[in-house]
Structure formats: structure tokens, C-alpha cells
Amino acid sequence: MTALINDGSILVCVKPAGIMSQKAEGNGPSVQDSYPDTELFTVHRLDRETGGVMVFAENSACAAALSEQIRQNKFEKRYFAVLKGKPEAEEGILEDLLFRDKQKNKTFVVKRERRGVRKASLEYRTLGCAEGLTLTEIKLHTGRTHQIRVQFSSRGLPLYGDGRYGGGAGELALFAYYLSFYHPITGEKMRFMHLPDTDKYPWNQFREILTEFNTEDSL
């Protein structure tokens, strides 16, 4: 597992797909297993099937500081996703009401607010199309479970490899490529970027776009 920074206060690493963000999520390997000598405090999560950049606190004070940044919307996450199909609009904002069924481990778009329903919002733009697939960049406004997956799937645009939400077989094509926040000790603005593996399908269909991507032009 690639560590981008590990300074005794925070650990920023690239979580591979198939690895759990934290041990409590179930059986199987977790990020903690790769750092057995370091106590890690989880402040945000990625689905087991989702790879990408994550930050962990290495003590409770830093965990509290990072969690407060999340509450104050000072914590920014951006993703790349490959959709099956093409959105009608090249860019836009998706807003939905989501209900999380914990027993089924699945999230649903619903029409009315009720107990357990939460608002969800994201913005996206398309970066390229190939073989009936569309590479999109996504910025989350809210952080609901399976949010990106279910919001696009409900519009007939499931993510490639997302068998849970209609995307078929294969590795889920969702990757948290960018993360920014303020260092909980120094206050320095921290920015981290990492690309998905462009040797793997379907990312290899967009290798040139991804390798030339500039965060200055991002959402």
C-alpha cells in the first residue's frame, strides 16, 4: 500500500480496491493491517470496492481536528468514475434523497423525506467517451454511503463493474483521486492526487486523458 505521507500525526495512503477502510466493516484485510505498528483513527471512509487516497489520524486530537474540518466543509474529495453510457449533459449537479437499507447493505433514491432519508448532492463533468463508456470527474457535496454509485445508477448510468447497482461484472471503476484538507498540527493546506491504474480496464481506455489531467482545470 502506497503511503504519501506518514508524519506521526496523519497517514495519507492510497487504498487499493478490495481493502476495507477499517477493520470493523467486516472480515478481510484492512488498511490497518498494512500499518500494524501505528494506531489509525478513521475520519472518513471509502467503500471496500473503491480505491483511492485516504487520510487517517494517528492520535485522537488529530482525528477530532480532521472530523471538524469535514463538518465545516473544509475537507474536499474528488473522484474519477467510468459510467456505462453517457449523461445527457456534459456537466451538472445531481441532487437526490437517499435511503440507506442497512440490512440489504444498499442505498436507494426515494421521492419523499422521511425517517432515515438524507439529502445527497454531487457535481460532475464528463472528460471523455470510449466504447460506450464515459469517464467522469466528480466532486461530492455530501458524503452518503454508495452515493456516487446510486445517484448515477438511478439515472440509467451505472458505474462499470458495480454489480450491486447494475454495472455488471469487473472491478468497480470508481477511484478517489484527490484529497485536500488542512494539516491538524501545522494548519498547512495539504493536497494529494493519485491516478487509478491506467494499465487496467476500463481506465486504460482513457489513459491519455488521465495522464494529462491537471487539477487546476478540475471541478
Annotated active-site positions, please?
Answer: 47
Q: Which residues of 10-49 are buried (b: 16+ CB within 10 A; e: fewer)?
A: bbbbbbebebbbeeeeeeeebbbebbeeeebbbbbebbbb
Q: Which helix (H) or strand (E) holds 105?
A: none
Q: What angle do CA 120, 132, 105 make, to 5 degrees?
A: 35
Query: Three-state SS for 205?
Result: helix
Distances in whole angstroms, Cα of residue 177 to Cα of each of 108, 138, 140, 169, 170: 25, 10, 12, 22, 20
| Gap between the terminal Cα atoms of the chain | 27
Q: How far apart are CA 79 and CA 139, in angstroms?
A: 6
Nearest to 203, CA basis, from 51, 86, 48: 51
Coil, strand or helix: which one is 60?
A: helix
Burial call 80-107: b when 16+ CB within 10 Å, e when fewer:
bbbbbeebeeeeeebebebbbeeeeeeb
